[in-house]
Amino acid sequence: MKKILCLACLFILACTACSSPRETRSHKPVTPVPFSQVTLDDAFWGPRLQSHKEKTLQVCIDQIENQTGRIRNFENAARGEGQHSGIFFDDSDVYKALEGMAYSLQNHPDPVLEAKCDEWIDKFAAAQQADGYINTYYTLTGLENRWDDMDKHEMYCAGHMIEAAVAYYKVTGKRKLLDVSIRMADHMMSLFGPGKRDWVPGHEEIELALVKLYETTGEAKYLEFARWLLEERGHGHGSKGKSGNPWNPRYYQDQIPVREISDVSGHAVRLMYLACGMADVAAYTGEQDYIDALERLWEDVVLRNMYITGGIGQSRHNEGFTEDYDLPNLTAYCETCASVGMVLWDWRMNQFTGEARYADILERSLYNGALAGISLAGDRFFYVNPLESAGNHHRQAWYGCACCPSQICRFLPSIGNYIYGTAADGIYVNLYMGNTAQMKVGRHALTLTQETEYPWKGAVTLRVGTKAPFATKIRLRIPGWCRQYTLSLNGEAIQPPVEKGYAVLERKWKDGDRISLDLDMPVMLVDADPRVKEDVGKRAVQRGPLVYCLEETDNPEDFDALTVSERTHFEVSYEPELLRGVVSLIASHADRTLKFVPYYAWDNREAGRMKVWIPLD
């Protein structure tokens, strides 16, 4: 069965005092259950995590050690001689790969991989200067020029080092890189801050990393420095770099103070990291101005500047935003890093509000925009994710600017973070994946086990494990794309209330309780907002959380002439041998048969044309 649904309808909008920072107590009412407490046993995601361990990590390690000069830069910096190879921010790729290695160790302990991490960390520590500074580009090209150009990514690289250090410390208890990071953070704070030099990081990232450092060390100065960096924006400080390079305030999100933001601007990934940093700081300061600004910004992104895949950033010229409703398909940029950034931001917004609409967009970006960034084999990557291809756009083994491969490397093994949240009055179930999770609600320990064939089928079973009965709420997200569903508890049909997009089950839970949720997954023809000129008279095809596309390899005849209509009939077929197992959609229309496959899986076979938006007959 098909349904006609306006894209805007998929995104239905629901029309404190600060605690001591040293307590690291968050103002967010929802606390995520970390992936370290979630054991994935999922037919869809399990093979991807295995490919990440066996292929993706090895590709990143080989590129960093053998194919590029990234690790050699650290070796040269430690000796104080030799040339710097690559781009000035290449250190960040090594740090992101290490973060992915740390997350993999959490999921799959591996002494060989851990030894490789320790080997890299020794090289990082050796490259650190006596005053705490670490950045191989300036160490090898002239330390006298450091902190001379706000767009040379010094704080960006430092931020990714801090994130990697925190991840590795949490997994292994080893703090060598954490200590290196602390020394770098203290070095930066000796130069910048109230009464010192002004600084606007050209690429945001340090802000959210500093909050992680605060959470790990309990040192409030790192939270305060993160907030100071955010407050530096929008006051004309960004043009003060001594290098004399041009500074475009809109590109760098420096045109107005952050608490006044309401519209998207500039580079998409930078905007995502800015939003994440603002959310993380607000979580501990309780600044409502930040939260209000983030809600305004989110609506502008989602309702006027986001593709149906959850991709963002329309233009390759600025790797970012242009104007509202300008959403070209063939030239869409949709950087993989930006889709990951959307997941990270929506995750934070869900924790602030307990609203399912943020998890809806998280899911959209996860299954479509981000997942398309890596091949099914786990060894090739997209930097750019268009919604149409003339047959000449393909994943690559690596890039000169390799932010996206290293981003996917650290993102995939952390997906368990996004499934559950806990609050004072219960549990939030945000994503549907096969897993077993350990969590606490108040004083009570609880185990939740999910069984599902999602995203191919909408049936989900959750089993409760507890040593003693206790009363709480379990909230199940009803996805925005789902129009009909059924729920049962221990085999009896129930109709619980729905609040903020969640079905709320409240009772005294006992060991062995079983919840069954069945989400209807019809094939939907989706139309865009009529202000999106590129998609007037076209439709996209979606089933469940997945956006589908036509590939020329499945539809070789008259590809440009293919159409759909309101009379198109779709058959749903699981094909275990196709694209490592997918549900394909066979559409019968006008004496033609069309075959649609999930967008995330395109360009994994023969080269050919592709399109998401199909003319309506």
Measured between alpha carbons, how far is 49 from 130 in angstroms, rounded to an integer? 39
Q: What is the CATH number of domain 422-452+458-519?
A: 2.60.420
Q: If residue 111 lies in a helix (H) or strand (E), which one and from where to where?
A: helix 111-127
- For CATH 2.60.420, list the domain ranges present in the chain: 422-452+458-519
Q: What is the pLDDT of residues 203-231, one digit of tens each?
A: 999 999 999 999 999 999 999 999 999 99
Task: Provide Rg for the chain, Cα atoms.
Answer: 24
Q: How many CA atoms lie within 13 A of 219 on its CB side?
A: 12
Cα-based distances in Å from 479 to 206, 348, 505, 521, 575: 33, 18, 16, 11, 25
Please say if the pLDDT value at position 564 is more than 80. yes
Measured between alpha carbons, how far is 248 from 560 in angstroms, rounded to an integer? 40
Active site residue 403: yes
Check if the beta carbon of residue 585 is closer than 8 Å to that of residue 572: yes
Please say if the pLDDT value at position 25 is more than 80. no
Measured between alpha carbons, how far is 342 from 421 in angstroms, rounded to an integer? 18
List 319, 388, 534, 551, catalytic entry: 319
Q: What is the pLDDT of residues 387-445, one digit of tens each?
A: 999 999 999 999 999 999 999 999 999 999 999 999 999 999 999 999 999 999 999 99
Measured between alpha carbons, how far is 25 from 556 in angstroms, rounded to an integer? 58
Q: What are the residue ranges of helices labelled H in 260-355?
A: 268-285, 288-304, 336-353
List 403, 404, 409, 549, catalytic entry: 403
Active site residue 319: yes
* Residue 472 bridge partners (DSSP): 507
Please say if the pLDDT value at position 548 is more than 50. yes
Q: Residue 21 — very low, low, confident or very high, per pLDDT cuts 50/70/90?
A: very low
Measured between alpha carbons, how far is 149 from 545 in angstroms, rounded to an integer? 43
Q: What is the pLDDT of residues 436-471, one digit of tens each?
A: 999 999 999 999 999 999 999 999 999 999 999 999
pTM of the model: 0.95
Cα-based distances in Å from 399 to 63, 303, 378, 395, 617: 10, 32, 15, 10, 40
Q: How many CB atoms lie within 10 A of CB 106?
A: 18
Amino acid at 40: L
Please say if the pLDDT value at position 69 is more than 50. yes
pLDDT of residue 23: 54
Please say if the pLDDT value at position 13 is more than 80. no
Please say if the pLDDT value at position 7 is more than 50. no
Q: Omega before 576 cis (within 30°)?
A: no
Please say if the pLDDT value at position 248 is more than 90. yes
Measured between alpha carbons, how far is 597 from 551 in angstroms, rounded to an integer? 8
